[in-house]
Structure 1
Amino acid sequence: MKISTKGRYGLTVMIELAKRVGDGPVSLKTIAQDNNLSEHYLEQLVPPLRNAGLVRSVRGAYGGYMLAKDSKEITAGDVIRILEGPITPVEGIEDEEPAKQALWMRIRDAVKDVLDTTTLDDLSKHGEDDSQEPYMFYI
């Protein structure tokens, strides 16, 4: 399974909003500048997140975006599914032999478990405590 820039940058937006809870609306321009990302690209990612009820927009000169739910209630899996679609390591696993099907399903379930048990609150606070190691993934 490969997560595209859509999922990665969307997760970045959501983490930045989680870090700034209580600060009022945050502009995409600010998030883009702080993370060296394209503001135009981020503008394309927010509508599906807003339509799904994860963010809300505030209009006006001091407008921007805010989380629509508590950061402890939004998982990385929520964001990835909205922007990337279903989490599946292999297309058409029903056509595979049973041993391979079982492997692909175990991989899918492991990835889903990590994504669905990691909240925006976890991600926004990660690294604040020096005792925490950064998330590292090895294959």
Structure 2
Amino acid sequence: MKISTKGRYGLTIMIELAKNHGEGPMSLKTIAQANDLSEHYLEQLIAPLRNAGLVKSIRGAYGGYVLGDEPSKITSGDIIRVLEGPISPVEGIEDEEPAKRELWIRIRDAVKDVLDNTTLEDLASHTEDGNTDAYMFYI
């Protein structure tokens, strides 16, 4: 499974919102500028995140976006599934011979485990302190 820019930039949006959690709404323009990304592209990504309830939009002059829940309750798996679809290293696992099927299932389950056990809180605190040894992910 290859995570596209949709998943990567979607995680970026969500991490920025998690860092800003409790401080009011954040505009996509601010997120785009802080990460040197296209605001127009982020606008395309925010809609499915909002539809899934992962973010809420706040209207008005000081509007923007906030997380739909606490950062500790939103996982990277939630975000990736909304933007990328089901997590699977290959299509048609059920059609593979048993030995290969077992390998693909183990890979899929390992990736799911990492994504589903890594919260936005983990990611936001990891990037804030700059400590790259804070979390070790095993696949």
Q: Could you say which structure has the higher helix fraction?
A: 2
Task: Output aligned runs, 1:119-134, within 5 Å.
Answer: 119-129=119-129, 132-133=132-133
CA RMSD of aligned residues (A): 1.9
Q: Which residue is equivalent to 1:29?
A: 29
Using the size of structure 1 for normalisation, the TM-score is: 0.93
Kindly report which structure 2 residues correspond to 1:73-84, keeping only aligned pairs within 5 A, or say none. 73-84=73-84
Q: Give the deviation of 1:127 after TM superposition.
A: 3.9
Residue-pair matches, total: 139
Partner of 1:87: 87
Specify the code of the residue in structure 2 equivalent to 1:79. Answer: I
User: Matches of 2:95 and 2:118 in 1, distance apart?
Assistant: 31
SS in 1 for 2:47: helix
Deviation at 1:94, TM superposition (A): 1.3
Aligned to 2:66: 66
- Cα distance in 2 for residues equivalent to 1:58 and 1:130: 30
Aligned-residue offset at 1:3: 0.3
Q: Is the 8 A contact 2:6 2:45 kept in 1?
A: yes
Please give the TM-score of this superposition, normalised by the length of structure 2: 0.93
In the alignment, structure 2 segments of 5+ residues that lack a partner are none
C-alpha distance after superposition, 1:62-121 (max 9, x if no partner): 100000100000000000000000000000111110000000000000000000000000
Pairing of 1:1-12 with structure 2 (within 5 A): 1-12=1-12
Aligned residue in 1 for 2:101: 101
CA distance in 1, matches of 2:27, 2:123: 20
Which position in structure 1 is the counterpart of 2:111? 111
Contact 1:127 1:134 in 2 (8 A): no
Gaps of 5+ in 1: none
Please identify runs of 4+ aligned residues in structure 1 that moved more than 3 A: 127-132, 134-139
Identity of aligned residues (%): 75
Aligned residues of 1:9 and 1:42 also touching (Cα < 8 A)? yes
